Structure 1
């Protein structure tokens, strides 16, 4: 039987955030140089949940020093490290290295400067979670089979989503546009966040996102 969610979070919850940051990224950390993936995790976590850094360091070190034995594996009561390009024999040393690098970051107290734009897929989704939910859920390649056009998809999102999340999405869109990305940056951003379609008609990505944010800000659900 698998672990209960509360037990999983206590043992591996923050470790999972760290390791997930490496999906699609090389695990090429060195003692004096965190990888791009770890820099993204440190940057985002320092500015949003700095207390979680010490939790990550402790969980990584505990897992590395006490890897799951056969019984825990048979019961499913362990964290399965996803495929990140390292062999099983390399995983333990890599986890210790991550714990050391996070500890160095905490002890130095040097908060990474926020990037103008996220640098990895994990960081995009960590920074703009509701925008990722919106684009990935309503604007996949299946959208034309479900909705008549982009406007209908936006309306469906707004009708079926809690008002606080709708407001959050409008805010995330405005935050993204306020960073001043060019059209190429925005095309990359929406692709990383799950959009698989082009903006409607002759809209630029920036123009369409701005329109969506404005529409959502004045939207009233059908049941109101």
Structure 2
């Protein structure tokens, strides 16, 4: 039978994070040179969960040493490596190279400098709530569900926990603070799931500023509302 979530995370949780960073990206890691996908994983993880890099190295190396046999495959008690563009015969050696890169990064204390995300995985890992908001409320179906952008924002605010709304506002501010040009912000919004244009005549950067302000003010309104007076006061 398939493993329970706790056991899966214990054995493969961080391995899965690393492999997810490679989906849609070339798995072209070589000795002495890591791929863009692995660099994205290291850049994000070092700045958010630095201890997880060593866990990933351990899990990947253990998996490469003990690939699942037929019994574990039949019982589904293993981690099925998704298609990363490599023949199955090359996966084991590739995993060893990944583990070596992770080990070297930890031993050298090689923390990648902050930079804008460079892969689809990194955009969504860095801005998870913004991706949920933009992808959920500004998909290609938005014009069929809402009369305009403001209506979509109002629906998000009224149906989402205020703490998540505040977190989204913070992520949008951080996104705007990257200092990208307008074409790069267009790419960023698309990577985060937005499939419609910002409302005219706003450019993507100005739309982000308006969104962040709107979400922040709605959160302040909820938590800054004075308490209602009790009867007889």
Please give the range of the TM-score, normalised by the shorter of the 2 chains: over 0.9
Counterparts of residues 144-223 of structure 1 (less than 5 Å)? 144-219=143-218, 220=221
The alignment's TM-score, normalised by the length of structure 2, stands at: 0.92
Which residue is 1:21 aligned to? 21
Distance 1:72 1:156 in 2: 46
1:5 aligns to 2:5 (yes or no) = yes
Shift of 1:147: 1.3
**Counterparts of 1:83 and 1:152, CA distance in 2:** 40
Instruction: Name the CA distance, whole Å, in 2 between partners of 1:105 and 1:138.
Output: 39
Please show how residues 12-161 of structure 1 align to structure 2 within 5 Å. Answer: 12-115=12-115, 117-161=116-160
Q: CA offsets per residue over residues 109-160 of structure 1, 9 Å max, x none?
A: 1211111x11111111111111111111111111111111111111111111
Structure 2 SS opposite 1:96:
helix
Deviations 1:167-217 (Å, cap 9, x if unpaired)? Answer: 011111111111111101100100111111111121111111111111111
- Paired residue secondary structure (1:218): helix
CA shift for structure 1 position 40: 0.6
TM-score normalised according to structure 1 size? 0.96
Q: How many residues align?
A: 221
Cα deviations by residue, 1:73-105 (Å, 9 ceiling, x for unpaired): 112111111111001101111111100110011
Structure 1 unaligned segments of length 5 or more: list them.
none
**1:11-58 residue CA offsets vs partner (Å, 9 max, x unmatched):** 100001101101111000011000000011111111111100110001
Matched residue of 1:203: which SS?
coil
* Rounded Cα–Cα distance in structure 1 between residues aligned with 2:74 and 2:153: 45
Q: Cα RMSD over matched residues?
A: 1.1
Larger Rg computed on CA atoms: 2
What is the rounded CA distance, in whole Å, between the counterparts of 1:9 and 1:27 in structure 2?
23
